Homo-oligomer: A and B are copies of this chain.
Amino acid sequence: MVNENQHTCSASSSSRSDGGSSSGSESSKDSSRCSTPVLDAERHERLREKMRRRQDSGDRWFSLEFFPPRTANAAVNLISRFDRMAAGGPLFIDVTWHPAGDPGSDKETSSMIIANTAVNYCGLETILHMTCCNQTKDDITGHLQKAKRLGLKNIMALRGDPVGEEWEEEVHGFNHAVDLVKHIRSEFDDYFDICVAGYPKGHPEAESYEADLKHLKEKVLAGADFIITQLFFRSETFLKFMKDCQAIGITCPIIPGIFPIQGYHSLRQLVKLSKLEVPQEIKDVIEPIKDNDAAIRNYGVELAVSMCRELLDSGMVHGLHFYTLNREVATTEVLKRLGIWNEDPRRPLPWAVSAHPKRRVEDVRPIFWASRPKSYIYRTQEWDDFPNGRWGNSSSPAFGELKDYYLFYLKSKSPREELLKMWGEELTGEESVFEVFTCYITGEPNKNGHRVTCMPWNDDPLATETSLLKEQLEKVNRRGILTINSQPNINGKPSTDPIVGWGPSGGYVFQKAYLEFFTSSEIVTALLKVLKKYELRVNYHIVNVKGQNITNAPDLQPNAVTWGIFPGREIIQPTVVDPVSFLSWKDEAFALWIEQWAKLYEEESPSRMIIQYIHDNYYLVNLVDNDFPLENCLWQVVDDTFELLNSPPQQ
């Protein structure tokens, strides 16, 4: 049996909030391998340790609860919401378990798969809810094994709702959440962090408030690491509950569940389900405005903000858990007003770190997938090990097959009709393709008045950093240098720079200028002549769909293009141009022309044939300017190329 003390005492004793110390049992396991500098201690910690660290440092935090969506489209939207809300810096999110929705299945809308996506693709610390009533031990164990396999590390252990009106205990089954907690600890030892539910007003089915507190203590003694409470309407309710818990010896973190009222009907429904009573003073305000959604939401935000302030001011509360109802506006508003929405989150690395425990040592990625991070994670999910502290020459395992890119979360978020409006109902030639790229860069509407907000290679509008290069990018795209990735050179900006900064404060970040584009073989021929002049300065890789590869890069050696220097640490070099992975990226980049763009058009149609022509004949080019302290020369390379093309042929 695992007892409570073992859990609560295992937290790191370090109080440095920037996470300098790498103590803790998990990280010491890695000590025999060549390890990577620990930039972000939390990345290596369990959820309960992160909670303890925040409590020690006095930093306030929040978490967000979501339920699984009903349709695949809703799932795609929910995942975008995860990405947006991740920007505010939640300590974790949790995904509820809907027994009716086949929650442990591989369906794209199941609780399991949504939680999987949150952990692996959105990089969010995630708790998966799990209920136990009406399920066999084998079913439960199967779900837990699957969760572990997917990289989920935290379970919210719940009883679940009875099926009929009356609750009947099963003799050998799971009748209470405590049975599930015990099962998890007996089958999975200390692998999972376990959360249980607390009821500030007592569970509606409990004999008494006191009896319910005893049940809660049993759950903690059985191995639960922390408690999230049911919603409540007054801060006194929670603070009394917390004191009562402490009085009977519950010492683990207790996190208040906050429900910002967002509408009359959702409130009614929730009250019905939770069997809670809404205080009269709230009813008095809401009833008169029940048809005015905006007014109710404003009131709900006000109410939540003032209740949260009371909780935080009490000194007993460090974190707040929000029941979002899968909505964004009200919760974000409350968090912003409380000042705990992280407006400018520190990026631990220049790319979003995956929360899968296996990937915790990942610290370098090829630049190619910069705009398709989910695809990169998907295609590397089978890797057992992340290149040992650096991207070894031949140490990168094979990339996953391309056939998988139809997976729902790798698909474009926009429906076919919208894509056609952006990328052209009918293409008249290569120039109309140039036009699409140009509109994507400039943000100007195309001929038909539609803005191009995504491209096959970029799910999202242009990154802030890229917009630093906007003017130059526009110019070259107009002329058929179809850019899909770029970064400016940076010569030692502070790591806190809002646009290009990453890593802990006090450091300096650097970049080599990078430019990646598709272009015609005619332009490539001229470009290669021009590149001779830049031989020692510019590294290039030029490849067509057949894999014909022209490069001046030292054999198979990666070129570090983003790195950072931090106090008291080794150099971090998280982004490389890696010749081996470029050939995998090439397959994906060329395939996107066909799968995402050509297939919008009828077979044999001129539009489709234009895209097919580009796919078959263009080259994918990447250029690195190694002289990062000087002005980026890549634009000059392109200018020289066009000058050469436009000069009269030599006699």
Contacts and interface: CB of A to CB of B under 8 A. Distances in A.
A21 to B, nearest CB: 5
B570 A560 contact: yes
B569 A34 contact: no
Interface stretch (A59-67, A389-397, A639-647): A389-397
20 contacts: A16-B554, A22-B393, A31-B392, A32-B395, A34-B34, A34-B387, A34-B392, A37-B557, A38-B554, A388-B389, A507-B626, A552-B568, A558-B569, A558-B570, A559-B570, A560-B569, A560-B570, A563-B571, A568-B624, A571-B573
Q: Is the interface of A mostly helix, strand, loop or mixed?
A: loop
A555 B20 contact: yes
Contacts of A387: 34
A32 B573 contact: no
A463 interface: no
Contact of A565 (B20, B33, B395, B560): B560
Contacts of A510: 565
A628 B506 CA distance: 11
Interface of A: 16, 20-23, 31-35, 37-38, 387-395, 491-492, 505-508, 510, 536-537, 539, 552-560, 563, 565-571, 573, 576, 624, 626-629
Nearest to A625: B567
A247 to B, nearest CB: 38
Copies of this chain per assembly: 2
A565 B559 CA distance: 9
Nearest to A505: B536
A569 B569 CA distance: 20
Contacts of A492: 491-492, 629
A110 B510 CA distance: 51
A510 to B, nearest CB: 7
B569 A559 contact: yes
Given A31-B392, A32-B394, 10 more contacts: A16-B554, A21-B555, A33-B388, A34-B388, A389-B392, A390-B390, A505-B536, A539-B568, A553-B568, A568-B624
Contacts of A573: 570-571
Contact of A557 (B491, B507, B569): B569
A256 B67 CA distance: 82
A10 to B, nearest CB: 17
Nearest to A19: B554
Given A536-B506, A570-B560, A626-B567, A21 B554 contact: yes
A23 B628 contact: no
A390 B573 CA distance: 12
Contacts of A566: 626
A468 B177 CA distance: 70
A552 B568 CA distance: 9
B393 A31 contact: yes
A567 B395 contact: no
Contacts of A571: 560, 563, 571, 573
B568 A576 contact: no
Query: Max chain B CB contacts within 10 Å: which of A16, A394, A565?
Result: A565
Contacts of A568: 539, 552-554, 557, 559, 624, 626
Contact of A555 (B23, B389, B395, B558): B23
A612 to B, nearest CB: 34
Nearest to A493: B629
B506 A537 contact: yes
B32 A391 contact: no
A26 B554 CA distance: 17
